[in-house]
Structure 1
Amino acid sequence: MKEYQPIGVFDSGYGGLTVLKEIVAKLPEYDYLYLGDNARAPYGPRSFETVYQYTLECVEWFFKQGCSLVVLACNTASAKALRTIQQNDLPKLDGSKRVLGVIRPTTEIIGNFTKTNEIGILGTNGTVQSNSYPIEIAKFYPDIKVHQEAAPTWVPLVENNEYDTPGADYFVEKHIRNLLAQSQNIDTILLACTHYPLLIDKIKKYVPEKLSIVSQGKIVADSLSDYLERHSEIESKCSKGGKISFYTTDSTQDFDNHAAVFFGKPVKSTHLHL
């Protein structure tokens, strides 16, 4: 029997489960290991150095569990930690392993959604302040103009199960209004945080119908599928048993209750002390 070598999926909390859900739907045959660093969430307001240190600790844990491939299903971690881990830490830890993020797959195809060449980004403070999206989009689509708006209240709304309440409308409308006020030509809005899909019904209320709203789950799943097809040296190491294991650094009861909403089915987690 092949050694257990799951694909690792990491997030600061629950949001990455919206990505894992799409990955499992696309690639159900693989084993997966999910870790939510809920005890130290949210990552959005934290410094680059802190997010990097936390993310690196979690990546090292994944490697110790046998993962040859880890997906940072967290925009803040992808923005603030991925490049340093790829360039500085991977060669020292294990040059045969890989860590991927959610920003690159999204920026590679975002140009397919816009006709005006003006897009809006909604994300956490950390993602917006990093400027990762404008920088990466410019590499693939130098003619696209990017407008950004940080929506720091949206993650707490989602994590506290307030995303479907009347109180959420104020904060959703406020940030969409701020974003769209930057240009009348924005025709595409990217939800650059994996929590935000849970607010999609509220978001649609305040976004004109003619605008495209882009979530990342399916994009990342398609990109991962393509990556595994192109990198047989990594794909061959990933075990295929259809098993999914969940870990959290905080309360398993809280995690399981919230995670079921994000993942779309019941979740049973194990506590991890880092």
Structure 2
Amino acid sequence: MIGVFDSGYGGLTVLAALHARLPRQRFLYLGDNAHAPYGPKSGAEILALTQAGVERLFHVGARVAILACNTATAAAIRPLQQAWLPVHYPNRRILGVIAPMIEEIAQTPWHATAGPDEKRRPVETVAVFATQATVESGFYPREIALRAPNIAVIQQACPELAGMIEAGAPEAALRATVVGHVGALLQRLGRAPDKAVLGCTHFPLVEALFRNALPLETQILSQPARVAAAMVAYLFRHPEMKDFAPEVVEPLCFTTGDAAAVSVLASRFYGRHLRFQTVDSGPRESSETLLDA
């Protein structure tokens, strides 16, 4: 099985894209709604919560865990991949949602680095709208600069937006918040960015608001679609990680929050009914406890 982890509802945008591309693949989804949003938390908190979430997914059978959260990916993926996974789960894998976006923006493979054009002047501008923690990590500008130094990255923190989406805020309030952040970035930049990245998986849930606020000439890159395409390619390279059912199968969904309340809002975001089960938000449980919750 493939596990998808997020701080709350945002990862549903990735799950939907994955399920559309791989409808017979068995997926598990875990939203840490009890601790959402992750954006205002410290790096140590995000790492601890992400590790606990991934471990829950492993204990219900996931062989691959996708961090469907930019904040969790920026803060946790390297220590988990490099120090934790080899010791505790050497036969499992953890993937993030930022690397496919970096590849899309830089138009180069993740393991490639910049060539002799390092001193070229920027010829393209990419705006990144993200949580406070993702912006402060510098993950996007640092990794893009390594691969495509001719791309200028300008970031805009939207610290309250993920929390507003989690709380089911009215559209008028969401629109005002998005307009404010887009306006702040445009004022600093002084022109329309060539491309925009919604660098929090919650933000595609209000992509229409970003589209209306951004200049028409700015292209919005779809992170869920790019992650799904990368997952298809990953399974082609690693067929042992596939777990296909004979027919279309719906994902199993878990939350550390209130299952009934989460199911209602998640189903609205996902576009069809999802039934969540509650797991304890404390230390990880056995696989039996998770599946029987």
Relative to the length of structure 2, the TM-score reads: 0.86
- CA shift for structure 1 position 177: 1.1
CA contact (8 A) 1:163 1:198 kept: no
Q: 1:146-165 to 2 correspondence within 5 Å?
A: 146-162=153-169, 164=171
Question: Would you say 1:89 and 2:84 are equivalent positions?
Answer: yes
Deviations 1:150-189 (A, max 9, x none): 001211221222252x233321111101112232252111
CA contact (8 A) 1:192 1:215 kept: no
- State the match for 2:40 in structure 1: 45
Q: Which amino acid aligns with 2:196?
A: I
- State the match for 2:132 in structure 1: 125
- State the match for 1:207 in structure 2: 214
Matched pairs, number: 264
Pick the aligned partner of 1:252 from 248, 255, 259.
259
CA distance in 2: counterparts of 1:30 and 1:121, whole angstroms: 31
Q: Which amino acid aligns with 2:8?
A: G
Q: Which amino acid aligns with 1:133?
A: Y
**3-state SS in 2 of match to 1:24:** helix
Relative to the length of structure 1, the TM-score reads: 0.92
Pick the aligned partner of 2:9 from 10, 14, 38.
14
Question: Would you say 1:182 and 2:188 are equivalent positions?
Answer: yes
Deviations 1:23-78 (A, max 9, x none): 00001111111000100111111011110011101111111111110100011100
- CA shift for structure 1 position 239: 4.7
CA distance in 1: counterparts of 2:192 and 2:272, whole angstroms: 39
**3-state SS in 1 of match to 2:129:** strand
Q: Which amino acid aligns with 1:160?
A: A
Question: Would you say 1:228 and 2:215 are equivalent positions?
Answer: no
CA distance in 2: counterparts of 1:139 and 1:229, whole angstroms: 27
**3-state SS in 2 of match to 1:33:** strand
CA distance in 2: counterparts of 1:169 and 1:218, whole angstroms: 24
Question: Would you say 1:109 and 2:115 are equivalent positions?
Answer: no
* Worse-superposed segment, 178-187 or 53-62: 178-187
Unaligned residue ranges in structure 1 (runs of 5+): 1-5
* Worse-superposed segment, 51-60 or 175-184: 175-184
- State the match for 1:23 in structure 2: 18
**3-state SS in 2 of match to 1:35:** strand
- CA shift for structure 1 position 204: 2.0
**3-state SS in 1 of match to 2:272:** coil
Q: Which amino acid aligns with 2:160?
A: T
CA distance in 1: counterparts of 2:167 and 2:34, whole angstroms: 14
**3-state SS in 2 of match to 1:38:** coil
- CA shift for structure 1 position 206: 1.6
Unaligned residue ranges in structure 2 (runs of 5+): 108-121, 283-293
CA contact (8 A) 1:116 1:185 kept: no
CA distance in 2: counterparts of 1:169 and 1:255, whole angstroms: 23
TM-align CA RMSD: 1.6
- CA shift for structure 1 position 262: 2.1
Question: Would you say 1:71 and 2:66 are equivalent positions?
Answer: yes
CA contact (8 A) 1:51 1:77 kept: yes
Question: Would you say 1:172 and 2:167 are equivalent positions?
Answer: no
Deviations 1:208-232 (A, max 9, x none): 1111112311010000000111123
Deviations 1:85-144 (A, max 9, x none): 0000010112111000000011001145xx941110000001101111111212321211
Distance 1:163 1:147, change over 3 A: farther
Distance 1:66 1:239, change over 3 A: farther
Q: Which amino acid aligns with 1:240?
A: A
